[in-house]
């Protein structure tokens, strides 16, 4: 080993910071999508690193389904206060009230798909030309094909068969009026990298990522949290279990896993031993084999 060695986390960090700075330089009005989940938390952490000692030169944007874990929203508001960052919130409920989105019905109803409507409306209204997202290529097979700089047509759609080639570190953010870009600064991170980095940098994350007792019920092999937004079948019964969340999305489709991991060290050990992907706890992806690709084509994150 020579003195110019850097480890994989520092190399990923350097790459992501480079991408985020490239966005600030190439676009007029970018935003960074922020859900309060671990991926958007580290993406925002990297953005702070990219522009220190100045403030992050763009706003964050949260598409709020209204079906949140309360801990996530508390965490979001605290982080914004501490860092002086600006966040724009757009509500799926507003899209529903305006008749632009129609609420799904039935037991498996979710607002996950409706987020796309609220997101695209928000981007258009705010004249956003680039939205950064915390998507990672290791999450899902359609995402594995995604570019760092991903071009979207005037309807916000992704055309996976016709993507621009991306070589070296040369990112082409050129577009016509009305089109925009999605940029994924942490494309090359895996779930393990994210946890290791949170540990290495001592980054604060919402409490529900750690083990806690929760009222849950079993559906489609997932442990869903009991809440007002999820109608339960008569056959489904509430149990108390010791769980944590691997991903935090819409509460209606994010399952918990049984876990005794109380610290980041425990979580890293657990991730190292786990034999299923984190997306396995998201039943939005289980609707069909290419559910993610189909949603992404329409303009999803």
Partner 1 sequence: MSDKTSGYLDMELLRFTTAGSVDDGKSTLIGRLLYDSKAIFEDQMEAIEISSKKRGDTEVDLALLTDGLRAEREQGITIDVAYRYFATPKRKFIIADTPGHVQYTRNMVTGASTANCALILVDARHGVIEQTLRHSYIANLLQIPHLIVCINKMDLMSYSEETYEGIKNEYQKVADKLNIKDVRFIPISAKFGDNVVDASENMDWYKGETLLNLLETIEIVDDRNHKDARFPVQYVIRPQSDEYHDYRGFAGRVASGVFKPGDKVKVLPSGKETTIKAIDTLNGELDMAFSPQSVTLRLSDEIDTSRGDMIVAADDVPHIEKEFDAMVCWMNERPMIPGGKYTIKHTTNETRCVVRNVNFKVDINSLEERTNDKVIGLNDIACLTFKTAKPLFFDSYNKNRNTGSFILIDEGTNETVAAGMIR
Restricting to residues 130-159, name those near partner 1 by CB under 8 A. 137-138, 140-142, 144-145
Residue 10 CA from chain centroid, whole number: 21
Q: Is residue 161 a contact point for partner 1 (CB under 8 A)? A: yes
> Cα dihedral angle (289, 294, 297, 301), rounded to 10 degrees?
-80
Q: Using the rule CB under 8 A, give the single segment among 58-66, 205-213, 240-248, 290-298 that binds partner 1.
A: 290-298
Q: Is residue 165 a contact point for partner 1 (CB under 8 A)? A: yes
Task: Report how far residue 73's alpha carbon sits from residue 14's, in angstroms, rounded to the nearest whole number.
Answer: 29
- What's the min distance (Å) between Cβ of 240 and partner 1? 26
By CB under 8 A, the count of residues binding partner 1 is 72
Q: Is residue 124 a contact point for partner 1 (CB under 8 A)? A: no
Q: Is residue 238 a contact point for partner 1 (CB under 8 A)? A: no
Q: Is residue 13 a contact point for partner 1 (CB under 8 A)? A: yes
**Closer residue to partner 1, CB minimum distance, 46 or 101:** 46
Of 22-51, which residues contact partner 1 (CB under 8 A)? 22, 24-25, 48-51
Q: Using the rule CB under 8 A, give the single segment among 107-115, 225-233, 244-252, 261-269 that binds partner 1.
A: 261-269
Q: Is residue 246 a contact point for partner 1 (CB under 8 A)? A: no
Contact indicator for 168, 176 with CB cutoff of 8 Å? no
Q: Is residue 298 a contact point for partner 1 (CB under 8 A)? A: no
Structure tokens at 227: 């809440």
Q: Is residue 83 a contact point for partner 1 (CB under 8 A)? A: no
Q: Is residue 272 a contact point for partner 1 (CB under 8 A)? A: yes
Chosen residue from 28, 54, 106, 237 binding partner 1 by CB under 8 A: 54
Q: Is residue 250 a contact point for partner 1 (CB under 8 A)? A: no
Chosen residue from 94, 166, 236, 298 binding partner 1 by CB under 8 A: 166
Q: Is residue 258 a contact point for partner 1 (CB under 8 A)? A: no
Contact indicator for 214, 243 with CB cutoff of 8 Å? yes
Q: Using the rule CB under 8 A, give the single segment among 125-133, 210-218, 222-230, 272-280 that binds partner 1.
A: 272-280
Chosen residue from 172, 226, 227, 229 binding partner 1 by CB under 8 A: 172
Q: Using the rule CB under 8 A, give the single segment among 29-37, 98-106, 167-175, 242-250 that binds partner 1.
A: 167-175
Q: Is residue 6 a contact point for partner 1 (CB under 8 A)? A: yes
Task: Report how far residue 201's alpha carbon sits from residue 193's, in angstroms, rounded to the nearest whole number.
Answer: 12
- What's the min distance (Å) between Cβ of 92 and partner 1? 27
Task: Report how far residue 245's alpha carbon sits from residue 280's, in angstroms, rounded to the nearest whole number.
Answer: 12
Q: Is residue 11 a contact point for partner 1 (CB under 8 A)? A: yes
Chosen residue from 83, 93, 227, 277 binding partner 1 by CB under 8 A: 277
Indicate the length of the chain as a whole number: 301
């Amino acid at each position: 080993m020579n003195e110019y060695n850097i480890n994989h986390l520092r190399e990923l960090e350097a790459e992501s910071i480079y991408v985020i700075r490239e966005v600030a330089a190439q676009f007029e009005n970018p935003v960074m999508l922020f859900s309060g989940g671990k991926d958007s938390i580290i993406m925002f952490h990297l953005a702070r690193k990219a522009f220190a000692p100045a403030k992050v030169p763009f706003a964050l944007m949260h598409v709020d389904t209204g079906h949140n874990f309360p801990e996530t929203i508390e965490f979001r508001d605290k982080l914004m206060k501490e860092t002086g960052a600006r966040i724009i919130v757009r509500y799926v409920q507003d899209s529903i009230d305006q008749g632009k989105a129609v609420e799904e019905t039935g037991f498996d109803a979710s607002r996950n798909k409706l987020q796309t409507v609220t997101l695209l409306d928000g981007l258009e209204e705010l004249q956003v030309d680039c939205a950064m997202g915390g998507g990672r290529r290791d999450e899902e097979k359609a995402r594995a094909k995604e570019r760092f700089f991903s071009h979207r047509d005037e309807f916000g759609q992704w055309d996976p068969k016709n993507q621009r080639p991306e070589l070296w570190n040369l990112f082409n953010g050129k577009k016509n009026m009305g089109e925009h870009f999605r940029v994924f600064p942490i494309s090359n991170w895996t779930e393990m990298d994210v946890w290791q980095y949170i540990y290495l940098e001592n980054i604060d994350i919402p409490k529900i990522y750690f083990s806690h007792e929760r009222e849950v019920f079993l559906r489609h092999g997932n442990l869903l949290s009991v809440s007002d937004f999820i109608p339960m079948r008569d056959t489904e019964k509430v149990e108390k279990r010791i769980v944590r969340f691997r991903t935090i999305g819409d509460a209606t489709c994010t399952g918990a896993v049984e876990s005794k991991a109380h610290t980041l060290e425990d979580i890293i050990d657990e991730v190292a031993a786990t034999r299923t992907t984190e997306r396995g706890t998201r039943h939005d992806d289980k609707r069909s084999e290419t559910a993610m690709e189909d949603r992404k084509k329409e303009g999803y994150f």
